[in-house]
Structure 1
Amino acid sequence: MNQLIFIAKKEIKVAIRERLVISLGAIIILLLGVALYAGYISYRQQQQIITQTQIEKRQEWLNQGDKHPHIAAHYGTFVFKPKTILSLFDFGLDAYTGTSVYLEAHHQHEFMFRPAQDHSSMIRFGELSAALVLQVLVPLLIIFLAFASFTRERESGTLKLLMSQGTSFNTLTWGKILAYAVMLAVILLPFLLGLVLLSVSHMSYDVIPDITVRVAMLVLIYGLYLCFFIAFSVWVSLRSGSGRNALLTLLTCWIFFAILLPKTVANLSESFYSLPSMREFKAQIDETKRNGLDGKTPRSVRMANLKKEYLEKYGVDSVQQLPFNFEGVSMQAGEEFGDQVYDYHLNNLREIFHKQNQLGSIASLFNPYLAVQHLSMALSGTDIHTFIHFEEEVERYRRELVRKMNQDMAENSKYGEFYGYKAGSDLWGEIEDFSYRAPTAWQLLSYYKLELISLMLWMALTMVLLHVANRKMKPIHE
């Protein structure tokens, strides 16, 4: 144990003396600080705008005046996707999923105001976020720190000296890994404290229900990811004949993990499972609404069957004799059929997304970068599954709003007097304001089992490689 600590201290002193860790660490701290500050400013501004606009739209709904309930259902309202506090750490898919959606009867509108639409194609390479720095740039820092951990000892002759004093390769290896882990922890500590303070300060009103758990898991996952790079870099240095070869090998692996493989997987998923355009998607929905899910039952036939069903059920000869306004019933039936059609096509679309994501999850078994990227977005509340959950909650809210409008029309108005009946603020107030609560971390992580397995497998593989390499290394004698 004493030898392990001695080697770690010696490695830290060498790194500080060469000033490499100081210069590279300063760059990383600066980038993390800028990314965290910019992320927080963006989060605060967007959250203020969203909150204010949501209040304005709520007042517009409540103060829309007296009108027919179905007209009010078409008047509709807006819902805005709230920002999570952890989105300042990992922007994830927020730039692509949109920030608001218009809710009205008969139509499921797409989300609007996607920030990616206002950026150039360079956004595909990622925005500068703290997560991007940790995923891509910090491993590069580790490579430059650790690539010469053993080759420098060989070239300077200190490796023979250490071995002659009875130091084992295993102790030397873990001493170096401990040294780099300590240096990295010191560099990242200010950023970690800043992230924790920001997260805790917004815990009471954020849409994420378990911020503390998520932050702790983010620390654990990134800790495993960076420890893998430390151990892997030390192993490559141990097995390399020169520092140049070790650096070339590690940089090649970094380029493969962080640049080549992610882009390749994205392109392959788009090629294998292509998505229809928005125009094609909407055209399919309109076609199904006209002709039915079976393609043989148009709206006129469906309405005739509905009318016959209610006349027989209540034993009357005309819809005017029904104890309610049949127009409200027929409109709700049409709404529910439209919802059924939309769900059918949306599920087909999501199945394509699922296949694309599944390909990415499988690829993460071969790339720890992809694994930590997916897990980071999930825990930050900026992944595809969190957005789908939000989308489902919004659609449930829209359907309930329209149902209440149609129900009031059926119960309180007369058949054929569409413009004769008007509802007021009492009905509008029955529609509660939309509020959202994200799924828990454990619910989200159930979608990312392969990513969790990937991190554990890569760590286990690195430990095995180090163990085998240390056993194969022979003592060095003068």
Structure 2
Amino acid sequence: MILRRIIGKEILQAIRNRQVLLFGLVVAALLLAASAVGYVSFDRQRAQMARAQQERRAEWLGQGEKHPHIATHFGTFVFKPKTGLSFFDYGLEAYTGTSVYLEAHFQHEFMFRPAQDHSALIRFGELSGALVLQVLLPLLIIFLCFGAFTQEKESGTLRLALSQGVSRRQLAWGKVLAYYSIVLALLVPTLTVALGGAFWQAGLPWTGDLARRLALLAAGYAGYFFGFVCLGVLVSAWARSSRNALLALLTVWIGFVIILPKTTAALGDNLHPLPAMQAYQQGISRDVDHGLPGDTTKAGRSARLVRATLRQYRADSVQQLPLNVEWVTAQAGEDYLDRVQTLHRDSLRQTLERQNRLSSYASFVDPFLALRNLSMALTGTDLYASLDFQRQAGAYRLGLIRTLHADAAKNSKYGQFFEYHPGQSLWASVPDFSYRLPAVGPALRPYGLEIGALLLWVLGLPLALHLSVHRFPL
């Protein structure tokens, strides 16, 4: 009964505070606006990518009669489709590229990075629903909670409440539950309208994986806000004045959302620098031409394969072989190129992981980093989703080239090139590219530290409040 009265009193007092109410309405309006803008951008880009994919597929099927190896150089584009939740959290999609041109002998750079068309201000983040919840809503919580105890200390009502038998813990938890109820009352209808409207307009299919992603997103953000409410009440309980409490909480907020993220990113880049693009490409070319450690040169590998093929078919010359060995060696070269690229890509991925590991460790003192990384993972807009798209695109490229080279080896004669020119039936035997987003379990696997850090935030702050609040100064 006492706890219920405390909750009711705090909610009524917060509603009467016009500044807090106005700030809450502004945050809700920003959240709706960010979701609407994000959906419009998502819908436009999704339609553009789908149309571009159809056009490239039509070009591939309609390229006419030509030698299969010429078709491998004609190539095609593949596009990373927009994930269903990317309108809420843009993640790294502005930086990682959304399409790539596939052809023989080369692994082209991923293109169409929206960040290239923006000013340097994009580094501070684009306005999205995730940004509003991660950055602006904690500010609302700070303004809601900073005077939880200090205002009652300054007015003298705190001693009066305690003299009537109300415990400090009852006061603290009554205030926490009241403020958290206000936050949820603001967010639940707003997010229901924003997300529900977007899903209805987009006609996105409801799947078990999507439901799990939404449930985990809701749990992560709910825990994040609960920790901030507990922090605000805890600081207010120990502060001597409302001014001191507000300054302390604002300092913490600046450290969480500005200083620590920028510092960890810069430190990671300095400690584990990425190779220059030119050096990276030169390393791949060198390993292809001269061979990986323990391997011979490109010419030596081709000669060895020809000798092995002759022995396999017990032939004295390449003209006696039942297949065109030119395209067997050409495909072997593509397989070796894929092997070299995989090794260099793995080395690059390991460097990126070492850079990101710093922010993972820092998330134990900064819940913003933990939630930001987990939010990107659950919406399919993080680094690992981009790397998975690159992996699937590379596998598709290799399969496309292997199909065409196998046909050329089987149906053309050694030394002939333009004499063999199949048509659309061969091009149609190569299926269209279809990217599949990893399930939620594998998507979260690299983020064990962030999950632990967020759990520590959710459990540690309430525990600290419960254990220390009975000793705060009056």
The interval holding the TM-score normalised by the smaller chain is: over 0.9
Q: Does 1:54 align with 2:53?
A: yes
* Corresponding position of 1:240: 239
Give 1:201 shift.
3.3
- Structure 1 counterpart SS, 2:41: helix
Answer yes or no: is the 8 Å Cα contact 1:378–1:445 preserved in 2.
yes
1:91 alignment partner AA: Y
* Corresponding position of 2:159: 160
Give 1:57 shift.
0.6
* Corresponding position of 2:147: 148
Write the deviation string for residues 158-191 of structure 1: whole angstroms up to 9, x where unpaired: 1122112211111111111111111111211233
* Corresponding position of 2:309: 310
CA distance in 2, matches of 1:209, 1:394: 25
CA distance in 1, matches of 2:231, 2:407: 66
- Closer, same or farther in 2 for the Cα pair 1:153/1:83, shift >3 Å? same
* Corresponding position of 1:19: 18
How do 1:105-144 residues align onto structure 2 when only pairs under 5 Å count?
A: 105-144=104-143
Give 1:347 shift.
1.1
Write the deviation string for residues 428-476 of structure 1: whole angstroms up to 9, x where unpaired: 11111111221111111111111111011122221222122223248x8
CA distance in 1, matches of 2:207, 2:281: 32
How do 1:211-250 residues align onto structure 2 when only pairs under 5 Å count?
A: 211-250=210-249
- Structure 1 counterpart SS, 2:101: strand
* Corresponding position of 1:400: 399
- Structure 2 counterpart SS, 1:79: strand
1:329 alignment partner AA: V
Answer yes or no: is the 8 Å Cα contact 1:86–1:199 preserved in 2.
no
Q: Does 1:356 align with 2:360?
A: no
* Corresponding position of 1:328: 327
Answer yes or no: is the 8 Å Cα contact 2:43–2:202 preserved in 1.
no
1:168 alignment partner AA: S
Q: Does 1:265 align with 2:257?
A: no
2:152 alignment partner AA: E
Answer yes or no: is the 8 Å Cα contact 1:7–1:175 preserved in 2.
yes
* Corresponding position of 2:79: 80
Give 1:307 shift.
1.2
Q: Does 1:453 align with 2:452?
A: yes
2:75 alignment partner AA: G
Answer yes or no: is the 8 Å Cα contact 1:210–1:440 preserved in 2.
yes
1:362 alignment partner AA: Y
* Corresponding position of 2:5: 6
- Closer, same or farther in 2 for the Cα pair 1:92/1:465, shift >3 Å? same
Answer yes or no: is the 8 Å Cα contact 1:85–1:199 preserved in 2.
no
Answer yes or no: is the 8 Å Cα contact 2:35–2:195 preserved in 1.
no
Give 1:208 shift.
8.1
Q: Does 1:284 align with 2:280?
A: no
1:94 alignment partner AA: E
* % identical aligned pairs: 48
Give 1:203 shift.
8.4
1:350 alignment partner AA: R
* Corresponding position of 1:372: 371
2:48 alignment partner AA: I
* Corresponding position of 1:347: 346
Write the deviation string for residues 222-246 of structure 1: whole angstroms up to 9, x where unpaired: 0000100000000000001100110
Answer yes or no: is the 8 Å Cα contact 1:379–1:441 preserved in 2.
yes
Answer yes or no: is the 8 Å Cα contact 2:302–2:329 preserved in 1.
yes
Normalising by structure 2, what TM-score? 0.97
Give 1:423 shift.
1.0
Q: Does 1:297 align with 2:314?
A: no
Give 1:107 shift.
1.1
CA distance in 1, matches of 2:246, 2:320: 86
Which stretch of the first structure deviates more once superposed, 69-78 or 455-464? 455-464
Write the deviation string for residues 97-135 of structure 1: whole angstroms up to 9, x where unpaired: 112100111111111110001111111111111111111
CA distance in 1, matches of 2:433, 2:72: 15
Which stretch of the first structure deviates more once superposed, 443-452 or 465-474? 465-474
2:80 alignment partner AA: K
Answer yes or no: is the 8 Å Cα contact 1:265–1:363 preserved in 2.
yes
Write the deviation string for residues 247-286 of structure 1: whole angstroms up to 9, x where unpaired: 1111111111111010000000000100011111111111
Write the deviation string for residues 292-332 of structure 1: whole angstroms up to 9, x where unpaired: 11387222211111111111222211111001111110111
Write the deviation string for residues 345-397 of structure 1: whole angstroms up to 9, x where unpaired: 11111110111122221111121110000000000110011111111111111
Answer yes or no: is the 8 Å Cα contact 1:20–1:145 preserved in 2.
no
Answer yes or no: is the 8 Å Cα contact 1:207–1:437 preserved in 2.
no
- Structure 2 counterpart SS, 1:85: coil
- Structure 2 counterpart SS, 1:241: coil
Give 1:71 shift.
0.6
**What is the RMSD computed on CA atoms of the aligned residues?**
1.6
* Corresponding position of 2:187: 188
Which stretch of the first structure deviates more once superposed, 455-464 or 385-394? 455-464
Unaligned runs of 5+ in 2: none
- Structure 1 counterpart SS, 2:138: helix
Give 1:205 shift.
5.2
Normalising by structure 1, what TM-score? 0.96
- Closer, same or farther in 2 for the Cα pair 1:470/1:304, shift >3 Å? same
